[in-house]
Chains A and B, each alone.
Chain A
């Protein structure tokens, strides 16, 4: 039984890593989160209800660990170093509507959103969960998911679409001048 569950977890790992990457924007940090998630899941396997989605349960574990960390970081006043994030796009022609749609720009935009909205975007836009699944994961009504998510996506889009840097004082040393 647990071997079958382990096999399903392994099958799920690429997507869990992508979810963690969307939250952390740093692959090493993401893998730490995935590792903690798998350890917690396997040591608390009795808390998973067979018949329910193992994947949803693991997304929930990952998001809760991450949200806890964000909260404690805030108390310690620690900032995430986005400059360490690898730039994946922007040099290989993977450009959508304008040249700011890169990992770094998206990461900047996401980091200005509240943590729970970042989770929503990662669950729905990156991982493709339905609003209903996301609502169950976060324990909020579906209407709340939709209104928060639509606001979050509009805010993210606005920060991506604006050519001028958003008036956020931190990270001002980053080079925003890479326009065409």
Chain B
């Protein structure tokens, strides 16, 4: 019987053999149960480890890490942050660009990263027993935002679980949603505030299992719909607007969104107590702690 070194068996499991090598090894494996058993340590470690350690792919990235990336290695002083927020008109065209980029992304499903794709493939493999032999190329679909953000009367409104999260969840509270055929996403309202035109608005984040993250801003209209004014893939917003970051921001999410909040907000963000009360009241202005200016 041919001697097959461990390295070669491992490379077979990891999909790192050439076609010719794989063909030869498959022929030998087919007639050698003992050799097939030697695959197991490699198959188990390959399939299980991405899942054992996948917690970071299932939760939002902590704000402190985003803040580090925004600020590390940057000159501290910047003149833009001293300008009044409402003067930053140039933001709007960039926000528009972000929404357009998002629409384009919606039409062309994004491919998941290789690692996340493999994690999913590995999960399939475990479900299917010995199916790992077939688990090689895999493209995980992007988050189907259509279910969470929908077109309605010419605008974008929150739908499904996003609507539910914005209506009922406190800031910081995670609502999980199944989207795109069972794919898991987490929705977190980040902040609530009253806008200059008297509406309640909320900033939110959505993270999907594949690592795609979106951040957005929605304001509630008189009919109880959440009109989505911004919805951007987190990295897009950063690449476009990173020079507009305000250093004293407590929450580092997406600078374009922060700028939009700055433009729209009346006073300060709602405190946790006020927010809880307003959620309890169903977002009606009655009983709200402060009269809105029309």
Contact = CB atoms under 8 A, between A and B. Distances in A.
Interface of A: 2-4, 6-11, 13-15, 17-18, 21-22, 27, 30-31, 34-35, 38-39, 42-43, 45, 86, 88-89, 94, 96-97, 101-103, 106, 121, 124-128, 130-131, 143, 146-147, 149-151, 153-154, 156-158, 160
Given A18-B57, A39-B72, A89-B52, A124 B239 contact: no
A39 B10 CA distance: 36
Nearest to A40: B72
A79 B64 CA distance: 27
Interface in B188-237: 211, 234-236
B65 A125 contact: no
A102 B52 contact: yes
A17 B65 CA distance: 10
B238 interface: yes
Interface string B22-42: 000000000000000000111
Contacts of B242: 3, 6-7
20 contacts: A2-B73, A6-B238, A10-B61, A11-B211, A11-B235, A15-B211, A21-B55, A27-B55, A31-B62, A89-B51, A89-B52, A103-B52, A121-B49, A125-B49, A127-B115, A131-B14, A143-B7, A150-B9, A151-B6, A153-B10
B66 interface: yes
A146 B7 CA distance: 6
Contact of B234 (A10, A45, A97, A156): A10
Given A15-B115, A35-B65, A124 B52 contact: no
What's the interface size class on B, roughly? 35 or more
Interface string B107-131: 0000001111010000000100000
Query: B46, B48, B113, B126 — which one has the most chain A CB atoms within 10 A of its CB?
Result: B48
Contacts of A154: 6, 41
Contact of B49 (A15, A22, A39): A22
